[in-house]
Structure 1
Amino acid sequence: MTSAATRRWRPRSLLQLVLLAFVVVMLPLGVLMYQAGQALSELSRLAEVSARQAVSETRRARTLGSLAVEMERGARQYAVIQEESLLDIYADRLAEFRELLARQRLLLPDDPDIQALERLLDELATLPQQPPEAYAASLDDFVAFSRHVEGMRQATNRRIDLRLDAIRERARQVQQRLWWQTGALVSASLMLMLLFTRLIIRPVRQLERRILGIGSGYQDSQQRHVQGPAELVALGERLDWLTHRLEELEAQKQQFLRHMSHELKTPLASVREGSALLSDGVAGELSPRQREVLDLIDASGAELQRLIEQLLDYNLLQHHRSAAIERLDMATVAREVLAKHRLSLQSKEMAVEVFSGPLQWRADHQATARLLDNLVSNAVAYGEDGGKLLIRARARHDRLELEVANTGEPIAEQDRDHLFEAFYQGRARRKGALKGSGIGLSVAADCARLQHGRLELIDDPEWPVCFRLTLPAAPPEDGRHYGLHNDIRPALTGQDARNLTL
Structure 2
Amino acid sequence: MPSKLTAKQLCQSLLKKVSISKLTLLGFLLVALPLTAALLFSVSKLSDLAKQSTVSVYHVAQLTQLNNQLSDRLVSIERFASQYVVLKDTALLTTFTEQQRSFLNIIEHFLLQQQDLTLVALLKELSVESQLIKGEIQKDSDENSGNLTLDIVQRKFQILVNLKNKIKDRSNTIINEQATNIDFTAKQVNQNILNSLYTIPITLLIALIFLLLITRPLKALIRKINTLEQGNFSEKIDVQGTSEVEEIAQALEMMRKRLHALELQKSSFIRHISHELKTPLAAIREGTELIYDNSVGPLNDDQQEICDIIRGSVTRLQRLIEDLLDFNIVLDSTSLQDAEKIHLPTLIDSALALRKLDIKRKNLVIDSSGTDCDFYSNTKQISVILDNVLSNAIKFSPLGGIITIKYHSTHNNKNNLIIEITDQGPGMSNNLKDKVFDAFYQGPPPQDNQIKGSGLGLTIVKELLMRLNGFVDLSDNHTSSHDKSSLKQRGKGSCVTITLPQENKAKSTAP
3-state SS in 1 of match to 2:197: helix
The reply to whether residue 457 of structure 1 matches residue 474 of structure 2 is yes
- Which residue number in structure 1 is paired with residue 367 of structure 2? 355
- What is the DSSP-based 3-state SS (H/G/I as helix, E as strand, rest coil) of the residue aligned with 2:421? strand
2:268 is aligned to: 255
Alignment-derived partner of residue 300 in structure 1: 313
Match of 2:201 in 1: 187
Matched, 1:403 2:420: yes
Query: What are the Cα deviations for residues 406-455 of structure 1, in whole angstroms up to 9, with x where unaligned?
Result: 3445445455446445x341554576555422221233346657877654
Specify whether residues 12 and 452 from structure 1 end up closer, same or farther in structure 2 by C-alpha distance, changes over 3 A only. closer
One-letter code aligned to 1:182: S
User: SS where residue 364 of structure 2 aligns?
Assistant: strand
1:231 aligned residue: 244
Q: 1:265 aligns with which of 244, 253, 278?
A: 278
Say whether the 8 Å CA contact 1:458–1:467 is kept in structure 2.
yes
State the SS of the aligned residue for 2:267: helix
Work out which of the residue numbers 461, 467, 479 in structure 1 matches 2:496: 467
Q: Distance in 1 between matches of 2:24 and 2:464?
A: 49
Structure number with bigger Rg: 1
Structure 1 counterpart SS, 2:335 = coil
Q: Output the amino acid matched with 1:325.
A: K
Match of 1:99 in 2: none
Matched, 1:201 2:215: yes
Q: Is the Cα contact below 8 Å between 1:430 and 1:436 reproduced in 2?
A: no
Secondary structure of residue in 2 paired with 1:354:
strand
Give the direction of change, closer, same or farther, for the CA distance of 1:394–1:190 in structure 2 (3 Å limit). Answer: closer
Q: 1:326 to 1:22 in 2, by over 3 A?
A: closer
**Aligned equivalents of 1:441 and 1:179: distance in 2?**
63
Match of 1:436 in 2: 453
Which position in structure 2 is the counterpart of 1:242? 255
1:284 counterpart (294, 297, 303): 297
Q: Deviations over 1:150-199 (max 9, x none)?
A: xxxxxxxxxxxxxxxxxxxxx99x98996675232233123323332343
Is 1:16 aligned to 2:5, yes or no?
Answer: no
Cα distance in structure 1, aligned partners of 2:315 and 2:301: 21
Q: Does structure 2 conserve the Cα–Cα contact (< 8 Å) formed by 1:401 and 1:471?
A: yes
- Structure 1 position 365, deviation (Å): 6.6
Equivalent-residue separation in structure 2 for 1:216 and 1:475 (angstroms):
20
Contact 2:359–2:394 (Cα < 8 Å) also in 1:
no
Q: Is the 8 A contact 1:415 1:426 kept in 2?
A: no
- Range 331-340 or range 175-184, more displaced: 175-184
Structure 1 residues 356 and 252, CA gap change in structure 2 (3 angstroms) = closer
Question: Is contact 2:233-2:257 (8 Å) kept?
Answer: no
Q: Residue 391 of structure 1 aligns to which amino acid in structure 2?
A: T
Q: Which amino acid aligns with 2:26?
A: L
**Deviation (angstroms), 1:265:** 1.3
Tell me which moved more, 7-16 or 352-361: 352-361
> Would you say the 8 A contact 1:28–1:185 is kept in 2?
yes
Q: Secondary structure at the match of 1:275?
A: helix
3-state SS, counterpart of residue 201 of structure 1: helix
Contact 2:401 2:424 in 1 (8 A): yes
Match of 1:372 among 381, 386, 396: 386
Which runs of structure 2 are paired with 1:120-159 in the superposition (5 Å)? none
Corresponding position of 1:98:
none
Change beyond 3 A, Cα 1:325–1:451 = farther
Shift of residue 4, structure 1, vs aligned partner:
9.1
1:28 aligned to which of 18, 28, 34: 34
* Cα separation, 2, equivalents of 1:461 and 1:193: 56
- Secondary structure (helix, strand or coil) at the match of 1:341 reads helix
Name the CA shift for 1:5/1:255 in 2 (closer, same or farther; >3 Å): farther
Superposition deviation, residue 312 in structure 1 = 1.7
1:99-138 equivalent positions in 2, closer than 5 A: none
Corresponding residue of 1:425:
441
Deviation (angstroms), 1:320: 2.7
Q: CA, structure 1 residues 472+237, in 2 after alignment: closer, same or farther (shift >3 Å)? A: closer
How far apart in 1 are the matches of 2:222 and 2:383?
Answer: 38
Deviations along 1:133-166, whole A, 9 cap, x unmatched? xxxxxxxxxxxxxxxxxxxxxxxxxxxxxxxxxx
List runs of 5+ in structure 1 lacking aligned partners. 37-170, 487-502
Matched letter for residue 473 of structure 2: E
Alignment partner of 1:402: what SS? strand
Identical counterparts, % of pairs = 27
Structure 1 counterpart of 2:508, which letter?
G
Quickly say closer, same or farther: Cα 1:251–1:369, change in 2 above 3 A. closer
Q: CA contact under 8 A between 2:427 and 2:494: conserved in structure 1? A: yes
How far residue 257 of structure 1 moved from its aligned partner, in angstroms, is: 1.0
| Structure 1 letter corresponding to 2:201 | S
Q: Distance in 2 between matches of 1:394 and 1:19?
A: 57
Could you tell me whether the CA contact under 8 Å between 2:369 and 2:406 is conserved in 1?
no
Once residues 31 and 302 of structure 2 are traced to their aligned partners in structure 1, the CA distance between those partners, rounded to angstroms, is: 89
Q: Is the 8 A contact 1:400 1:470 kept in 2?
A: yes
For residue 507 of structure 2, what is the aligned residue in structure 1?
A: 482
Is the partner of 2:455 in helix, strand or coil?
coil
In 2, are the aligned partners of 1:473 and 1:482 still within 8 Å (CA)? no
Q: 1:320 aligns with which of 305, 314, 335?
A: 335
Aligned AA for 2:271? R
Structure 2: gaps of 5 or more residues: 1-8, 43-184, 480-491
Deviation at 1:268, TM superposition (A): 0.9
Check 1:380–1:297 CA distance in 2 against 1; reply closer, same or farther (3 A cut): farther
**Aligned equivalent of 2:356:** 339
> How far apart are residue 342 of structure 1 and its match?
3.4
Q: CA deviation at 1:467?
A: 0.6
Q: Alpha carbons of 1:275 and 1:323: their partners in 2 closer, same or farther (altered >3 Å)?
A: farther
Deviation at 1:24, TM superposition (A): 1.9
1:225 deviates by 0.8
The Cα shift of 1:355 comes to 1.6
**Deviations along 1:99-149, whole A, 9 cap, x unmatched?**
xxxxxxxxxxxxxxxxxxxxxxxxxxxxxxxxxxxxxxxxxxxxxxxxxxx
SS of residue matched to 1:466: strand
Counterpart-to-counterpart distance in 2, 1:356 and 1:180: 70
**Per-residue displacement from partner, 1:245-304 (whole Å, max 9, x unpaired)?**
333332222122112212211221221122133245454333344334324322332232
AA partner of residue 279 (structure 2): T
Task: Give the drift of 1:233.
Answer: 3.2
Question: Are the aligned partners of 2:233 and 2:259 in contact in 1 as well (CA < 8 Å)?
Answer: no
- After superposition, the Cα gap between the structure-2 partners of 1:428 and 1:198, relative to the gap in structure 1 and judged at 3 Å, is farther
SS in structure 1 at match of 2:275: helix
